[in-house]
Structure 1
Amino acid sequence: MSTSARVPQRLSHLPFRGSRAVSGGLLTWTMLRGPTWVRLLPDVYVHRDGLRADDHRMWCDAVALRLPPGAALAGRSAAWLLGVDLLARGDRVTVLLPTGARLRPHPRLSIVRSPLPGADRRWFAGLPVTTPLRTAFDLGRQGARAEALVAVDALLRRQVVKLPALRAYAADRPGWPGSRLLREVLALAEPLSESPMETRLRLLLLDAGLGPLTAQHEVRGGGRFLARVDLAWPALRIAVEYDGDQHRERARFRRDVARLNALRSAGWIVLRFTADDVLRRPEATVALVRQAIAERRTPAPPR
């Protein structure tokens, strides 16, 4: 009989508690120590064919089996489960432990200790997760300012939370750690921002004193729709666009050319930037935008 034929169906793909499998007569400790099973965490195993080392969901499933009562998956892990991917490759599973709860540290875990009322915790996709509001509240007051804003913008964009509700939730918790950062993030938050890099570009321009500016502005000419631009100063007819890798596709490139020509014909200045411009050449990026604004604000000489 082959090894795969001896694998209980309920244990063939998902992580499981080894002690429960043994007490239920499905496996023995000797079998668990063999090559068929991979130990993920203390007393948590997965079949070797179900091992996906970079699969965050697999690690969330494994970690959830070890959570003490009242704990929850939180932060970027909760956002990912809610459909908002803020993860970097190899990110650890974030766990929120309420006061008094204990969990053994592990390289795959990022443990945060904080009060966790029952109202801030729910079951989602079979796992205990912080609620959308608590997830946004936590991400908006942690880490670097730009990353906190990227996280909140992404949650707003996917309509996981609404900005008025998040502001009200934060106002009810004024003394929590990171509240000052969160207030700043909520003042800058933009539900219309369509990507993390667009958020970073917008923040770069605002920090340079080039605001206010409009996100996802619709440009019309001759009574018809011409384009929607990422960021704009409508009164000056200046648009700033973030170009990701998708703009290199041939069909997309052709549409972009036609769209750019239509905007130019309507009298718009369009400045396009890449990730390198935002992350590695921020001063040059700001200088180009500042120059365009200055040119538009300078009266044309009389003819």
Structure 2
Amino acid sequence: MSVPARVPRRLAILPFRGSRAVSEGLLTWTMLRGPTWIRLLPDVYVHRDGHRAEYHRMWCEAVALRLPPGAVLAGRSAAWLFGADVLTRDAPVTVLLPSPARMRPHPRLLVTRSPLPESDRTRFAGLPVTTPLRTAFDLGRQGSLAEALVAVDALLRRWVVKLPVLRAYAADRPGWPGAPLLREVLTMAEPLSESPMETRLRLLLLDAGLGPLTAQHEVRAGGRFVARVDLAWPALRLAVEYDGDHHRERAHFRRDVARLNALRAAGWVVLRFTVDDVLRRPDATVALVRQALAERRAAAANH
């Protein structure tokens, strides 16, 4: 069987079924066993230039080629495809199988099983996935409260799911596994949360009894916009912000200084926290916010 000198572009970029490439005369099995092609899954290959071991999209494409009828990409994989920041390093591809479908185990594969009506399936970016609504419903019932809330917040922020619709969907399915966790998540979900760490910081403060607080509050002074702060107690003019690593960049740092000075001039107190403050020093973080709240309340009472 003759093989074209140039590999078709689709084979040079995306994963493909080896058996199909061979049957179409594009490659031979001998070629597939050579150094140019990387075997990802049984009968699924990718060109070595398109191989990225940690590239989740590549693995989603590969797994989709092996899905049995009725199965879809789901969970964190579906959420990531919708644009939500929910993946950890080397995360496996999550697949949802309807009974009695089966898939061969693989280290890059996380297989889940659940009823999957046609209304909960869709196609996005060319791949079969759970709908955004079903994806949020599933992730809100899994893991810890923080993990579930982070996932739901991330999907809400992408505007692929609306909170009232998710609440109604969950209310119609009260007996599903993890439903109590989801109900708790839905009492705290915030579409305005801008990052997973901002969600974790908000949850830390709410768990400490420091709510209610307002997300992404717009500060104005004299009728003019001053800044938008991550979390706020507007009546006390107290703000809490999460600072990611990008705040260390010189240009960002300079903007932060000017912004912080403008907030102080408007009478606001701003507390800023890093990932270590949230994850490694949560008690100290809560204590600082609690003290600031007490001081602001005392100051307000004296005016």
Q: TM-score range by the shorter chain?
A: over 0.9
Aligned partners of 2:4 and 2:26 also within 8 Å: no
SS at match of 2:5: helix
- Work out whether 1:129 is the aligned partner of 2:129: yes
Shift of 1:126: 1.3
Deviations 1:176-214 (A, max 9, x none): 111111010011001111111111111000000000011
Which amino acid is the alignment partner of residue 259 of structure 2? Answer: R
Runs (5+) with no aligned partner, structure 1? none
Which amino acid is the alignment partner of residue 160 of structure 1? Answer: V
TM-score by length of 1: 0.94
Q: What is the alpha-carbon distance in structure 2 between the residues aligned to residue 302 and residue 132 of structure 1?
A: 50
- Work out whether 1:275 is the aligned partner of 2:275: yes
Q: What is the alpha-carbon distance in structure 2 between the residues aligned to residue 276 and residue 169 of structure 1?
A: 36
Q: What is the alpha-carbon distance in structure 2 between the residues aligned to residue 221 and residue 48 of structure 1?
A: 57
Tell me what 1:292 maps to: 292
Tell me what 2:157 maps to: 157
Runs (5+) with no aligned partner, structure 2? none
Shift of 1:245: 1.4
Report matched runs for 1:216-235 at 5 Å: 216-235=216-235
Shift of 1:34: 2.2
Task: Give aligned-pair identity as a percent.
Answer: 83
Which amino acid is the alignment partner of residue 265 of structure 2? Answer: S
Shift of 1:13: 2.1
SS at match of 1:38: strand
Tell me what 1:115 maps to: 115
- Work out whether 1:77 is the aligned partner of 2:62: no
Shift of 1:300: 7.6
TM-score by length of 2: 0.94
Judge which range, 41-50 or 5-14, deviates more: 5-14
Tell me what 2:245 maps to: 245
Shift of 1:247: 1.5
Which amino acid is the alignment partner of residue 298 of structure 1? Answer: A
Report matched runs for 1:1-303 at 5 Å: 5=5, 7-298=7-298
Q: What is the alpha-carbon distance in structure 1 between the residues aligned to residue 119 and residue 135 of structure 2?
A: 12
Distance 1:119 1:296, change over 3 A: same
Which amino acid is the alignment partner of residue 146 of structure 2? Answer: A
Judge which range, 122-131 or 217-226, deviates more: 217-226
Shift of 1:274: 0.8
Distance 1:61 1:295, change over 3 A: same
Judge which range, 154-163 or 29-38, deviates more: 29-38
Two-structure CA RMSD over aligned residues (Å): 1.9
Shift of 1:173: 1.1
Q: What is the alpha-carbon distance in structure 1 between the residues aligned to residue 76 and residue 28 of structure 2?
A: 36
SS at match of 1:240: strand
Q: What is the alpha-carbon distance in structure 2 between the residues aligned to residue 179 and residue 10 of structure 1?
A: 42
Aligned partners of 2:122 and 2:128 also within 8 Å: yes
Deviations 1:157-180 (A, max 9, x none): 111111011111111111111111
